[in-house]
Structure 1
Amino acid sequence: MPRERNVKLKRLLLTYGYTHQDLADEVNRVAEVLYGKPASCTDRHVRRWISGEVRWPWARYLLPLQEIFGCAPEAMGFVPRGKWSRPVQPPAKPRVDRKGTVQRREFVAVGLTAALGIEAIPTVGRLGTSDAERIRNLVPALYVHDHALGGGALHIVAVEALARVHEALNLCSYGPRVERLLYSAAGDLAASAGWFAYDAGDQAGATDLYREALQSAMLAGDGALQARVWSNLAMQARLMHRDQEALRIGRAAVETRQAKDDPWLMALLHCRQAVGHARLGERGRSERSLSRAETAYEKTSGAPSPWLSFLTSAEITGLAGAAHQALGQHRRAEELTASALDQLEPRFERNRVYYTLQRAQVLLGCGEVEAAVAQARHAMGITGNVQSVRVRDKLASLRDSIGRYQTRVAREFCEQTREAE
């Protein structure tokens, strides 16, 4: 049976901000609490778990891992093998104090929760328009951080804020007009939380949040919010390789009155449809969608909705590059992606990493292996605090593609970046 990488464990490391050595150290610390002595875990053990070489760790490692991540072995991607894989009960020791666990994502979340004033949302009394506005103002504040950090930390913050909003909706009183405003604001927050979960790699969580956002949109009579959620659902379907479904959902969003009245939204929808058509090899339809996106973008004025603040000319150009890449037009895709990077503002750190990786991919498609490796190295160098599983998965996919080339530069890159697996 071919070896299968443990993607779930890899994502847990990314989610909690662990390196291989960090996790090994934490396993040893937790094991000492459970057993009275450390487990002698090393970074090599962690690499073997992630590579799939070891599909079910020994109990002295497995139990600490369950304490660290708070989930069952199967949820960590481990595969049982016969009677020796039966769950083992921990020794009669006090449970581990997980406050000492290195959880960088949660650390960031705590700081953002305090900074955004989520605790100030009232959960008693009567709510007015100012309270609905306070909730809606959380979204632009969150997106400022999303452009730099990615969805990892923000998922936690947005879900916590949403729980607070639900308390307010359930426990407070308000009139019909304020009710619509509250549901619209709550739906906006749920849609944002869904996007952050999508970017953090939690597709099940994203789907639940998008459903909640759609329900709120219906209760509020907010068609623009509904079109936005459909757009995000289409993007998620594409990520999961359901391209026909993605196009159908995107088409429904394009046909809404709200999308037709908002050139910002229409430009984005047509760009994403262009990528969808390209992935199915529909060159003519893809090119027509790109043309419609450009026409819509030329009609934009003023400032877009906060969630659309990423939609600049750089993003339009980058998505056009993605469409040409999917069509196999690598030279044109490289030109467009390079142009997008030149236009991109410094605040879009996550997107800069993403499009740098896209440029590396299209250069590889052009057969320019050395140039592709140079871009891949650059992307790794600017990743910084970005917490986006989408970006990390794109890097992993690129590394696998580079590994298929038997040049010295490709081999050196794969060897030097092995720790990033």
Structure 2
Amino acid sequence: MGDNLEIQRRMLELGFSQVELAHRVNDVIKTLTGRYGTCSERTVRDWVRGKVTWPRGLQRRSLEEVFDCTAEELGFQPRGATPAPPPTENDVRRQTFLKGIAATATTAAGLTPSPATAAPRTTIGTSDVIRLRAGLETLDALDDHRGGHGALEKAALAGAAEVMALQRTGSASERIRSRLFSVAADYTAVAAWSCIDARDLDQAQKHLDTCMRLAGLARDPVAVFRTWNMIAMLANQLGNYPDAVAAARAAQRTGITRRDPAFASLAHARTAIGSAGLNDRQSALRSIGLAADSLGRARGDQPCPSWFAFYGAAELQALTSIVQDRLGDAVSAESASHQALALLPAQFRRNRALATARLALTQLHQDEVDLAVHTASSVFDVMAGDPLPGRMRTLLGDFHRELLTLSTNAPAAQEWGDRYRAEWSRT
């Protein structure tokens, strides 16, 4: 029969790898039967290559649910049926082009997502969900580079409003409606995170309440995990460490952590930070150890949403530095910060600046004043051209106060004070 170009095209539209499609089919089978399916990457490969022209009943039904269309529309044909003509090369190219246009439609200069349609529509389909999701990657990339700020929050809320307007005015299947709620939750999560990073904590809490409601309506374990993760971060910023630990443990109990060890690793790391805030050394070290073990089991080729791309070996080292510094082990904390900076990908500029500020604090906690001042000053160089997010300003403010307490007359401290005040006036 030859390659099944139609299922290839639809996988491309949704960004599914063969492994991801197998997981999604198995998830639907579990919903239908109560038992996780046996679909594997090899099964999907046989579909894509046309070796299987008509999947078995349960897998076929699950495929139809995943793609929200019939098996025939996916390029499959029951035995004895006359095959429909496959899509032409131009068809495939056109779909790829349209996907590329959707992914770049939202830019840093104009962050508000494009209008839902040129004219009113009555039916909402997969293409609408794909288009709406495309703007999220641009917002996530902007956050990685600059951090949270008002324009990012505004753009994210505009995206969520567009999704919910489509929910209210269009007709759609239950599956499409769930996916729209998931997209709305993700846009709201970007707004919440922007407020957390900007230290607008009251506004962040309001967005998180909305985000959790939308994630529940979507029945999306990844969105629920993301919300609990941010609740844990917000509680840490507020110094409410019992709530931070409770939220991190709630994240550990979401469905995605059982399927993907990388998500479990992040939840354990958040637990460790909260426990260190409570000065519970044993729990903190146990949790950070579990985070490392879980990340070691994670598969590098596992697909993940764009917002989760920040988490890996570098971020785990950065979080480990926070835990160890809170527990009073500044030497180990400094080592972890150095490892974080060495491993951190170039696109995460804001995270690099944060890790550098944390490194300066660990050096100050070892009375290395000159070295700490030099390190802290480089934060301004990393973020040159953009205002500092509120979370970073708070961290540098902590460094400034601790430096003045430790050494007010040292030449390095006086030089830092001049640089600090000058930079503050610009940002």
Scaled by the length of structure 2, the TM-score of the pair is 0.69
Q: Does 1:357 align with 2:360?
A: no
Q: Counterpart of 1:403 in 2: which secondary structure? A: helix
Query: Residues of 1 paired with 2:373 and 2:339: CA distance?
Result: 19
Label 1:121 to 1:192 Cα distance change in 2 as closer, same or farther (>3 A). Answer: farther
Partner of 1:336: 336
Note the C-alpha offset of 1:304. 2.4
Q: In the TM superposition, what is the alpha-carbon distance from 1:171 to its structure 2 partner? A: 2.2
Is the Cα–Cα contact under 8 Å of residues 318 and 340 in structure 1 kept in the other structure? yes
Which residue is 2:148 aligned to? Answer: 151
Stretches of structure 2 lacking an aligned partner (at least 5 in a row): 1-105
1:142 to 136, 139, 146: 139
Instruction: Give the match's secondary structure for 2:108.
Output: helix
Give structure 1 regions of 4+ aligned residues with deviation exceeding 4 angstroms: 120-123
Q: CA deviation at 1:387?
A: 4.6
Once residues 261 and 118 of structure 2 are traced to their aligned partners in structure 1, the CA distance between those partners, rounded to angstroms, is 36
Residue deviations 1:248-272 (CA, integer Å, cap 9, x gap): 1111111223222221211111111
Which amino acid is the alignment partner of residue 389 of structure 1? G
Q: TM-score, normalised by structure 1?
A: 0.70
Pairing of 1:211-290 with structure 2 (within 5 A): 211-290=209-288
SS at match of 1:320: helix
Q: Which has the higher contact order (CA 8 A, sep 6+)?
A: 1
Counterpart-to-counterpart distance in 2, 1:378 and 1:147 = 18
Question: CA–CA distance in 2 between the matches of 1:121 and 1:379?
Answer: 43
Task: For 1:136, give the aligned amino acid.
Answer: R
Pairs aligned (count): 312
AA in 1 matched with 2:285: E
1:223-260 residue CA offsets vs partner (Å, 9 max, x unmatched): 22112201110110110010011111111111223222
CA distance in 2, matches of 1:375, 1:124: 55
Task: Name the CA shift for 1:113/1:383 in 2 (closer, same or farther; >3 Å).
Answer: closer
Q: CA deviation at 1:215?
A: 1.0
1:16-31 matched pairs, under 5 angstroms: none
Task: Find the aligned partners of 1:122 and 1:292 in 2 and give their Cα distance.
Answer: 50
**SS of residue matched to 1:112:** coil
- 2:347 aligned partner: 347
CA RMSD across the alignment: 1.9
Q: 1:111 to 1:179 in 2, by over 3 A?
A: closer
Asked if the contact 1:271–1:289 (Cα under 8 Å) also holds between the matched residues in 2, the reply is yes
Amino acid at match of 2:354: Y
Q: Is contact 2:163-2:183 (8 Å) kept?
A: no
Residues 220 and 299 (structure 1), Cα distance of their counterparts in 2 relative to 1, 3 Å cut: same
Match of 1:124 among 120, 125, 144: 120
**For structure 1, which runs of at least 5 residues remain unmatched after alignment?**
1-109
Answer yes or no: is 1:112 the counterpart of 2:141. no
Find the counterpart in structure 2 of residue 395 from structure 1.
Answer: 396
Q: Percent identity?
A: 28
C-alpha displacement of 1:121: 5.5
Shift of 1:357: 0.4
Q: Deviations over 1:7-63 (max 9, x none)?
A: xxxxxxxxxxxxxxxxxxxxxxxxxxxxxxxxxxxxxxxxxxxxxxxxxxxxxxxxx
Equivalent residues in 2 for 1:45-124, closer than 5 Å: 112=108, 114=110, 117-120=113-116, 124=120
Q: Is it true that 1:367 corresponds to 2:367 in the alignment?
A: yes
**Where does residue 411 of structure 1 map in the other structure?**
414
